[in-house]
Amino acid sequence: MQDKRKERIDRGVKVRSDTIYAISSMKEIMYLIGPRMGLVLFLLALPLVLPIYWQKVVSITAVYALLAVSFGFLSSYVGLVNLGGALFVGVGGYISGLLNSAYGLPLYISIPAATLLGALFCTLVLLPCLPLRGIYFAIVSFVYPLAAVRIISATGAFGGTDGIAGLDMIGSGYGSQYFIIVTLLLVTFGVSRLVSAEDIGLIFRGVKDNEQAIKASGLNLTMYKAVAVFIGALIGSFAGAWLAHLYGWVGMSLMATDFSILPLAATVVGGTSTIYGPLVGTLLLVPISEALRDFGTLRIVFYSVAMVFFVVFWTEGLLIYIKRKYEQFERWVRV
Amino acid sequence: MSVKTTDYSLLINNLMLFYENALAINNISLKIEEGKITGVFGANSAGKSSLMHTISGIILDMAKKEKMKGGERITWFGEMLFKGEDIINLPPHKRARLGIVLCPERRQIFSESSVLENLMIGSYLANSSQTKETLDFVFELFPELVKLKNREAGFLSGGEQQMLATGRALMAQPKLLLLDEPLLGLAPSVEQRLSRAIQDINKHTGITIIISEQYARPLFPIIDYGYLLENGGVVMEGTSKELMDNPDVIGAYFGI
């Protein structure tokens, strides 16, 4: 009886490009930067090749992608499963809207200000929940935007159910599209570098793995968690502020549950454990859900089926699978 | 196969186990005799736990989980005969029904249930008279547990937890009991106490027992036959006397 098994072997080009030989020839260089260049070129080409209607989708997709990157960063690298993405969006949007309408600040000041102030505010309100882990943090963070919506509609603050209308609008020309796309790329590569190459990224991953060991290493656990939430909230608040000026209107729908759940779905589909997974997931999910708009609420079903399929049968997610195929090949060997 | 398979409780032929490309068990063949205590000794990474997982079938679950995650693929080859029946691809719960019961490494008790509840969970495969009988036997074996009957199991000391885990495994009416590192992290006096209890189990019930352990010395007097593993392969085997008389073994595994 001859037993055989399938063996996974790293491709030669992968092995070479792990070392100094990475710069030995064009092939190795292309192997390394090819996928990233592909992503960059793909995103940069989008506004040029898409028809007008879909160009608007680009902006929305980029906003969701930013949220997904923020979610992926917090959940895969810090261990904080943050289902309160809507809080970041809402806070960022409302602050920018207020600054713009009540104080008359132009949007190129109100958006950055809202990004910073929103992130600070979100970090402060989430501070008491930071000792929580996993599902408990997820529940509590999920409740925040829901509570915020109730408070706004009950007290009538910030325009109550009507929201604040008449904000300065971001045009939908190439300028704004490229601005958000480039921002998305910078954020993605920046966060990816932060978690893989910087000291603080190492600490973040340590926080996810073992909190006790982090404390035993003399690191202030709450501080690092707060920094992580601040980074996540920066991204989310910017997305919210951008969205507010894209619509020219701020309202309770900025705290919609979509903003909390879609990043989770995108991460499930794209794959955890890289920052690019959530990004790729969003680039798939948002256009698909846009294309299914004709089906009305039925598209939720398609959506759910896709999610269940990935959770149950393909837990690794798309990007991890593609990455493995890119780096390794398989062959049969005799045992 | 010339060996009469029914003479042995468990017969393993040419077992190989891969974690992706890493070879964890390299062509191991074991003959576990009915009603005897067999020791499997080796350092960390020798393949003891992998072997226990493969015998108990847990490896099938692990493989499934890893496959879903897209992680390491676990593959195994070879033959594993339990009372003449090939069980290599049988899922773990079916193996437990056949009588192969694992007492897992690091005890793995249900820490939020009481001691008695822990024992009762183990007895799902037994009928009520067996349950009563075995429960009495467990309490006779480990009198400490009687007092702690209603205590939450998570608050037990390491030694008491190990007694509980062993007792729970006994409640499942094993024909082949797998004890994976039962002496892990125990004081020398408790080690003595437990190894005597293991011997008692074997003597009174005739259950075949396989023990894996790193530090062989406290178990040495109670085993009938031992295997020494190194890097996934069997480097030496023999009765306890033969192993004891071998100077290499003494130096390397018995810590003298």
Q: CATH number, domain at B59?
A: 3.40.50.300
User: Minimal Cα distance from A322: which residue of B?
Assistant: B70
pLDDT tens digit at each of 335 positions of chain A:
567 888 888 888 888 888 888 888 888 888 888 899 999 999 998 888 888 888 878 888 999 999 999 999 999 999 999 999 999 999 999 999 999 988 988 888 999 999 999 999 999 999 999 988 788 999 999 999 999 999 998 888 888 778 888 888 887 778 888 898 999 999 999 999 999 889 999 999 999 999 999 999 999 999 999 999 999 999 999 999 999 998 888 988 888 888 888 898 899 888 888 889 999 999 988 888 888 878 877 777 877 888 888 888 888 888 888 888 888 888 898 87
Contact A8 B69 (CB under 8 A): no
* Distance between CA atoms of residues B81 and B241, nearest Å: 27
Query: Are B16 and B92 within one domain?
Result: yes
| Candidates B70, B71, B77; nearest CB to A3 | B77
In a domain, A19, yes or no: no
Query: Among A1, A5, A274, A312, which would you mutate to test the B interface (most chain B Cβ atoms within 10 Å of its Cβ)?
Result: A5
Express each pLDDT in A129-179 by its tens digit. 998 878 899 999 999 999 999 999 888 888 877 888 888 888 777 888 889
Q: What's the pLDDT score for residue B5? A: 54
Express each pLDDT in B38-47 by its tens digit. 999 988 888 9
Confidence band, pLDDT 50/70/90 cuts, at residue B66: confident
In a domain, A164, yes or no: yes
Query: Are B234 and B192 within one domain?
Result: yes
User: What residues does B10 pair with on adjacent strands?
Assistant: B32, B82
Q: What is the number of domains present in chain A?
A: 1
Is the CB of residue B156 less than 8 Å from the CB of residue B142? no
Contact A316 B73 (CB under 8 A): no
Query: Are B50 and B62 within one domain?
Result: yes
Evaluate if residue B256 carries a pLDDT over 60: no
* Distance between CA atoms of residues B17 and B11, nearest Å: 16
Instruction: Tokens 């948002």: give the residue.
Output: A286
In a domain, A122, yes or no: yes
Query: Are B116 and B139 within one domain?
Result: yes
Contact B21 A8 (CB under 8 A): yes
Q: What's the pLDDT score for residue A274? A: 85
Which DSSP symbol is given to A132?
-
Evaluate if residue B62 carries a pLDDT over 70: yes
As a whole-number percent, the residues of chain A with pLDDT over 90 amount to 42
Q: Which residues of A touch B68 (CB under 8 A)?
A: 313-316
Strands B100-103, B176-180: pairing is parallel
Is the CB of residue A52 less than 8 Å from the CB of residue A202? no
Backbone angles phi, psi at A132, to 5 degrees: -75, 155
* Distance between CA atoms of residues B32 and B40, nearest Å: 11
Is the CB of residue B225 less than 8 Å from the CB of residue B238? yes
Q: Which residues of B touch A9 (CB under 8 A)?
A: 21
The pair of structure tokens assigned to A285 is: 């999910």
A335 touches chain B (CB under 8 A): yes
User: If DSSP codes are grouped into helix, strand and coil, which group holds residue B209?
Assistant: strand
Domain boundary among B136, B157, B173: B173
Q: Which residues contact A112 (CB under 8 A, 6 or more apart)?
A: none
B73 touches chain A (CB under 8 A): yes
Confidence band, pLDDT 50/70/90 cuts, at residue B2: very low
- Number of neighbouring beta carbons within 10 Å of residue B34: 15
Is the CB of residue B214 less than 8 Å from the CB of residue B42? yes
User: Minimal Cα distance from B21: which residue of A?
Assistant: A7
Query: Are B69 and B169 within one domain?
Result: no
Cα–Cα distance list, A112 to A88, A160, B138 (Å): 14, 24, 69
Query: Are B81 and B43 within one domain?
Result: yes
User: What residues does B226 pair with on adjacent strands?
Assistant: B39, B238
Query: Are B249 and B186 within one domain?
Result: yes
The pair of structure tokens assigned to A217 is: 């290493």
Query: Are B26 and B113 within one domain?
Result: no
Q: What's the pLDDT score for residue A120? A: 96
| Candidates B20, B69, B77; nearest CB to A335 | B77
**Mean pLDDT lowest among A164-178, A240-254, B109-123, B222-236:** A164-178
Nearest to A92 by CA among A63, A57, A56, A132: A63
Query: Are B179 and B93 within one domain?
Result: yes
Burial class (CB in 10 A: 0-12, 13-18, 19+), A266: buried
In a domain, A26, yes or no: no
The pair of structure tokens assigned to A104 is: 């008359």
User: If DSSP codes are grouped into helix, strand and coil, which group holds residue A217?
Assistant: coil
In a domain, A123, yes or no: yes
Task: Give the H/E segment covering residue B10.
Answer: strand B8-19
Nearest to A259 by CA among A102, A65, A103, A115: A65
* Distance between CA atoms of residues B216 and B221, nearest Å: 9
Q: How many contacts (CB atoms, under 8 Å) link A and B?
A: 28
* Distance between CA atoms of residues B212 and B229, nearest Å: 10
Structural domain boundaries, residue A190: 55-256
Query: Are B190 and B219 within one domain?
Result: yes
In a domain, A153, yes or no: yes
Instruction: Tokens 């042995």: give the residue.
Output: B8
Structural domain boundaries, residue B150: 107-173
Count of positions (residues) in chain B: 256
Q: Which residues of A touch B21 (CB under 8 A)?
A: 7-9
Domain boundary among B134, B154, B173: B173
Q: What's the pLDDT score for residue B1? A: 43
Query: Are B39 and B158 within one domain?
Result: no
Evaluate if residue B201 carries a pLDDT over 60: yes
Query: Are B143 and B165 within one domain?
Result: yes
Q: What is the number of domains present in chain B?
A: 2
| Chain A residues 9-48 with CB within 8 Å of chain B | 9
B72 touches chain A (CB under 8 A): no
Burial class (CB in 10 A: 0-12, 13-18, 19+), A32: middle
Nearest to B124 by CA among B88, B166, B172: B172
Express each pLDDT in B82-96 by its tens digit. 988 999 999 999 999
Q: Which residues contact B70 (CB under 8 A, 6 or more apart)?
A: A314, A315, A316, A317, A320, A321, A324
In a domain, A241, yes or no: yes
Q: What's the pLDDT score for residue B4? A: 55
| Residue A235: CA count within 13 A, CB half-sphere | 31
- Number of neighbouring beta carbons within 10 Å of residue A40: 16
The pair of structure tokens assigned to A44 is: 């940069």
| Candidates A3, A7, A315; nearest CB to B70 | A315
